[in-house]
Structure 1
Amino acid sequence: MEPNLIIFERIFILLCPASWLQTCKRSSPNENKCFRKLFEGCFPALAAGIPEIGVKSFEPLNIDQVSVSKGSGNLVLAGGFQNLVIRGPSNATVRSASLDLARRQLNFELELPRLRIRAKYNLKGNILLLPLVGNGDVAMALKNVHTAVYTKISLHNETQTGDEIIHIDEMKVSFQVGAMRIHLKNLFNGNEILAASINAFLNQNGNEVIAELRPDLELGLADIFHGLWNNVFSKMPTKLWLL
């Protein structure tokens, strides 16, 4: 056995819950909810991060940029959010997880009770006919977030060891938010009266604002999580859990 693989297995034995170490049948990985239990058991360790094998912590989740480009309807905005720091992903509950090797699909759903986000923003446009212009700090809180991730996968052989790993080829992310609170600083070049009015309006109409921004946000999150989950699966040879 390769020395690196021995180290890998010892690390997971130490850091992952015993339930994660159960194996699933390759022919029917979802039998008796096996893959869901496997995913559910491993998620806390992955969320905390395992630096020994190069898996970074999900908490906080750092995202360089999410762009916004909405040019019609009730919302016309250009710009985006930068240097996002998101706290709360590690508290996710796995609602479902399934693996279908024949159809090359790996899907899962998460429930997150609360996400707290701090970032920089740069936005210009209109929301429900009201102007919005500014750049600066933004603080946001999202409650009762339901996220569904749908992927198309393939099986690859890892270059160094030759071990089979799962590779995500395509990913689609959808989400629903129960409630949102947001505060944008430095709107209208520091005009506090206009800024207070816009922030109050955004919070009163949070669901509508999120609904308008959802397509851009879902595409941005899919792009980010695509790379993140491929890194995770590259550290999880199928021979350790899919027999």
Structure 2
Amino acid sequence: MLRSAIYLICLFSFVTNYIIPCSAKDPNLNECAKKHGQESLQDILKGDPKYKIPNMTPLNLPEIMFTSGNLSVHLENVVVLGLEYSKIKEINMDLSKRHISVAILIDNVNLISDYNINGSILILPITGNGRANITFVGGEYRFDFDYVLNDKRDGQYMEIMNDTLTYKTKRSYYHFENLFGGNRALGEHMNTFLNEHWEDVQDDIGPALTKTISAIVKATLGGVISRVPFQEMFRP
């Protein structure tokens, strides 16, 4: 959901034709990439069918499913709001080692969806289905990856390897309607618990969710990577 959007923003910020390519020999390559990436960000967020970039204002996802321990979560009709306020904090490129790192800052992101949840989170059992509302405040999202270059008739194309997506937020808020079969007292107690222990909640479900999102988005990125030769991203 949110992480898939960040994953998309990070990569698309320097592989589309909205940006004047930076020179691979520029001693200020990172600053050049950050400058042009930020300039193009609003166009990127609007989407582009040519590169299979979805509209991200808002971002609509049909569903996302993940498990963490004995917790199972299924989200449907996901809407992510607030991505238009994304800012590129930094881009670090080591073309000799074929490694790139991109950090994105987003002040406030709101996620709304239908949900179905079952299992336990931290020490408490949880079950329910209904509407979910999740807000991330003061987020920094970092995408690191290696790449290899594959030769084709019209040039070399990037293939992402060893990708990781990490994040940290200053705060997050959770509200799930209709928990425990509509038991209002238990539902309010659980929502209060999740918000009081928001950092532990993120630590508990973060790895499983990030792994799932990474796999989904990596497949999506194939539509972009297969259409943009490496030499169009970076001048000699």
TM-score relative to the length of structure 1:
0.78
In structure 2, do the counterparts of structure 1 residues 106 and 212 end up closer, same or farther at CA, with 3 Å as the change threshold?
same
CA distance in 2, matches of 1:70, 1:48: 37
CA distance in 1, matches of 2:104, 2:142: 6
Unaligned runs of 5+ in 1: 1-10, 72-76
Matched, 1:65 2:64: yes
- Per-residue deviation, 1:195: 0.9
| Alpha carbons 1:29, 1:99 under 8 Å: kept | no
Which structure's CA Rg is the greater one? 1
Matched, 1:113 2:107: yes
How does 1:106-185 map onto structure 2 within 5 Å?
A: 106-157=100-151, 162-185=154-177
Matched, 1:224 2:223: no
Q: 1:48 corresponds to which residue? A: 46
How does 1:23-42 map onto structure 2 within 5 Å?
A: 23-28=21-26, 30-31=28-29, 33-42=31-40
Amino acid aligned to 2:187? A
In structure 2, do the counterparts of structure 1 residues 29 and 237 end up closer, same or farther at CA, with 3 Å as the change threshold?
farther
CA distance in 2, matches of 1:157, 1:38: 27
In structure 2, do the counterparts of structure 1 residues 66 and 59 end up closer, same or farther at CA, with 3 Å as the change threshold?
farther
Q: 2:76 corresponds to which residue? A: 82
- Per-residue deviation, 1:163: 4.0
Amino acid aligned to 1:183? H
CA distance in 1, matches of 2:185, 2:72: 23
In structure 2, do the counterparts of structure 1 residues 142 and 65 end up closer, same or farther at CA, with 3 Å as the change threshold?
same
- Alpha-carbon RMSD across the aligned residues, in angstroms, is 2.5
132-141 vs 60-69, greater mean Cα deviation: 60-69
1:173-226 CA distance string (max 9 Å, x none):
001121111111121111112111111221222122112111112212322332
In structure 2, do the counterparts of structure 1 residues 225 and 107 end up closer, same or farther at CA, with 3 Å as the change threshold?
farther
In structure 2, do the counterparts of structure 1 residues 24 and 163 end up closer, same or farther at CA, with 3 Å as the change threshold?
same
- Per-residue deviation, 1:149: 0.3
CA distance in 1, matches of 2:130, 2:178: 6
SS in 1 for 2:185: helix
1:137-193 CA distance string (max 9 Å, x none):
2111111111010112122356xx724332323321001121111111121111112
221-230 vs 131-140, greater mean Cα deviation: 221-230
Unaligned runs of 5+ in 2: 1-15
Matched, 1:187 2:156: no
Identity of aligned residues (%): 22
More relative contact order in 1 or in 2 (CA 8 Å, sep 6+)?
2
In structure 2, do the counterparts of structure 1 residues 223 and 61 end up closer, same or farther at CA, with 3 Å as the change threshold?
farther
User: How many residues are aligned here?
Assistant: 219
| Alpha carbons 2:29, 2:93 under 8 Å: kept | no
| Alpha carbons 1:49, 1:57 under 8 Å: kept | yes
CA distance in 2, matches of 1:118, 1:142: 12
SS in 1 for 2:65: strand
